[in-house]
Amino acid sequence: DSGVTQTPKHLITATGQRVTLRCSPRSGDLSVYWYQQSLDQGLQFLIQYYNGEERAKGNILERFSAQQFPDLHSELNLSSLELGDSALYFCASNLAGTNTGELFFGEGSRLTVL
């Protein structure tokens, strides 16, 4: 158990809809990262937050947004969903500003868009 919690574990929705994925980082971790994993794109970094502020952006679509709240949990919002958004979405956390960059991953949220 990494200590990172993601909900929901599975989500099935239709094209055009909007969903919210939630992540609670490990206790004490200030930084949260979101990744998308799909068969054709592999593991793609989406966005990083540190103590409530956006710190780095990767291959995140404009239809996607994220935020980190004062209690450090984070949400990834996916809107106007397309079939190609079907993927496993991972959240990871670390203390940041440290160290080695080592990440602790949640179990992921599997999104299926029909």
Partner 1 sequence: AQSVTQLDSQVPVFEEAPVELRCNYSSSVSVYLFWYVQYPNQGLQLLLKYLSGSTLVKGINGFEAEFNKSQTSFHLRKPSVHISDTAEYFCAVSVRAEYGNKLVFGAGTILRVKS
Q: How far apart are CA 41 and CA 73, in angstroms?
A: 26
Shortest Cβ 59–partner 1 spacing (Å): 13
| ∠ CA 44-17-40, rounded to 5° | 30
Residue 5, classed as helix, strand or coil, is strand
Q: Does 60 bind partner 1 (CB under 8 A)?
A: no
Residues 28-57: x/- map of binding to partner 1 (CB under 8 A)? ---x-x--------xx-x--x-x----xx-
User: Are the CB atoms for 63 and 33 separated by under 8 Å?
Assistant: no
Q: How far is the CB of 64 from partner 1 (least distance, A)?
A: 19
Contact 55, 48 (CB under 8 A): yes
Q: Which is nearer to partner 1, 44 or 79 (CB)?
A: 44
Query: What whole-number distance in Å separates Cα of residue 19 and Cα of residue 1?
Result: 26
The minimum distance between CB 107 and partner 1, in angstroms, equals 4
Question: Where along the sequence are the contacts to partner 1 (CB under 8 A)?
Answer: 2, 4, 31, 33, 42-43, 45, 48, 50, 55-56, 90, 92, 96-108
